Amino acid sequence: MSADDDRPLRAGAARDERAAPSADNPLGAFLRARREQLAPEQAGFADDYRRRRVPGLRREELALLAGVSAPYYARLEQGRDRRPSAEVLDALARALQLDADETRHLHALAIRPPAGRRPRSSRPERASEPLQRLLERHVDVPAYIYGATSEVLAGNRLAALLHPSYQPGRNLVRDYFLDEESRALYLPSERAEIAVEAVAMLRSLAAADADDPRMTELVGELSLKSDEFRRLWARHHVRDKGPGTKRFLHPLLGELTLDYEAFTVTGADRQQLLVFHAMPGSDSERSLKLLTTLAAEPRSAAAGAAAPQSSGLAIQSGKSCENGRSQ
């Protein structure tokens, strides 16, 4: 393939440019998706849409920005070269205008071992029993742990009363996209961003082991049943879980605005602990205290009073959490 293989005036060039990387080439799929989302004017190129036959940047334009040859970049995107140096990856990240989370994701894809060579335990994913006891008995704010596929592995009663998705056995992303009633628990103006953040978080989790059959099944189910998820998944946006803010429309307490912190669980594969807290002196802090009182009541009474008939997930944007962990 020549350096000029994607010039729009050449016969067949646009068809070649649209050729999707193979399924076993996640690095190429990511590069292609992000290249197609970067408008020429964003990268300093002239707006010549009438002559373009491909979305976003051409391969040769991205190669120029990254300081690599067009044939070499084409090999990367097509999976014919899968071992770019860290310097090349950083140059591509700058050219694609990736943020810190997306740049880490790009590096992770480049060092991903070939399919079929990844060791994988057959045991169900669980949170440790000591950590479960800690959450239930010694944490007086809503807190839960989710695992490698966004399934909730453990949580305290406050978390379950705050939101039905924060209970063991529920899957945060599946609940949000496949339960329409859950969207009523969040402000309409924030629902689109919640969906973007949910998919970006799942992308980040999948990067560590995209061939995990649990992840493959989840993504397949969501892609089949949710047009919104399928569209967002194809964008290849990535976001590591970090501190942020969630706004709930609680069935008993009304609107709550809670900050949260995210922590990596040491010694557990991709497990994250989320802990919620309210601004001191705020209405939300007073509502959280009422929720604590409700949690202290007998389980049957509390469950009957507070559990709504819906499920969901609220994920707001936040910077990467550095609370005692490396990203």
- Same domain (yes/no): 171, 86: no
- Same domain (yes/no): 71, 192: no
Residue 41 is part of a domain; what is its CATH number?
1.10.260.40
- Whether 61 has a pLDDT exceeding 70, the answer reads yes
**What are phi and psi for residue 252, nearest 5 degrees?**
-110, -35
290 band by pLDDT with thresholds 50, 70 and 90? very high
- Same domain (yes/no): 17, 98: yes
DSSP type of residue 54: S
Vertex 6, ends 235 and 30: CA angle to 5°? 25
| Residues 264-288 as b or e (16 or more Cβ within 10 Å = b) | bbeebebbbbbbbebeeeeebeebb
User: Range of 85's domain?
Assistant: 13-110
- Same domain (yes/no): 82, 197: no
- Same domain (yes/no): 153, 210: yes
- Whether 258 has a pLDDT exceeding 80, the answer reads yes
Higher pLDDT, 101 or 322: 101
Instruction: Please answer whether residues 101 and 262 qualify as being in contact, where contact means their C-beta atoms are separated by less than 8 angstroms.
Output: no
pLDDT digits (tens, 9 = 90+) for 72-130: 889 888 888 878 888 889 999 998 999 888 888 888 888 765 555 455 555 678 888 99
Beta carbons within 8 Å of 125's beta carbon, 6+ residues apart:
147, 148, 149, 151, 153, 269, 271
- Same domain (yes/no): 101, 165: no
Q: Report the predicted TM-score, pTM, of the whole model to 2 decimal places.
A: 0.72
Q: Lowest mean pLDDT of 31-40, 88-97, 291-300, 313-322, name the range.
A: 313-322
If you average pLDDT over every residue of the chain, what do you get?
80
Domain count, the chain: 2
